[in-house]
Amino acid sequence: TPIPTVGPTPPVAQPGRPPMSQRATDASAVMLAAGAATVPPGLIAIGLLVASDYANPTVIAMVCAAPAVIAVPILAVARLLARAKEVAPVEQHNYYSGPVSQQHHTVSTQTRGLFAKTINKQ
């Protein structure tokens, strides 16, 4: 098949993950490299402890699972906040030409009792 020609048409975002900026790409590469650099020393330390019979495999499993136990609630809260931001109403601006009449009502609410009874007063 022939290679498509390049013209003045701007690129169109494709479905899937959105494209990242160069700065985000560089930061992602640094994070991956730093994370990968911690794996070999950790594996060596675990291997030495297991080989010398000073380590309990249950304790090693708990130490390895601790980051996930800490990260799961944090990620859940972050996802909840992101969803709340999506659901938040959009700020709306109305522009009028000519005379405008604005009415403002305030409703105060009281809820009392074991079996809640709500009383709305204007």
CB-count burial class (<10 Å; 0-12, 13-18, 19+) for 52: exposed
pLDDT confidence of 53, banded at 50, 70, 90? Answer: confident
User: How many other β-carbons are positioned within 10 Å of the β-carbon of residue 55?
Assistant: 16
Residue 15 lies inside a defined structural domain of this protein: no
Is residue 111 a contact partner of residue 117, using CB atoms and an 8 Å limit? yes
Residues 33 and 50 reside in one and the same domain: yes
* Domain total of the chain: 2
Same domain, 30 and 49: yes
* Average of per-residue pLDDT across 70-83: 87
Domain of 73, in residue numbers: 57-85
Mean pLDDT of 30-41: 87
Do 50 and 72 fall into the same domain?
no
Q: Which residue has the higher pLDDT, 8 or 83?
A: 83
pLDDT exceeds cutoff 70 at 91: yes
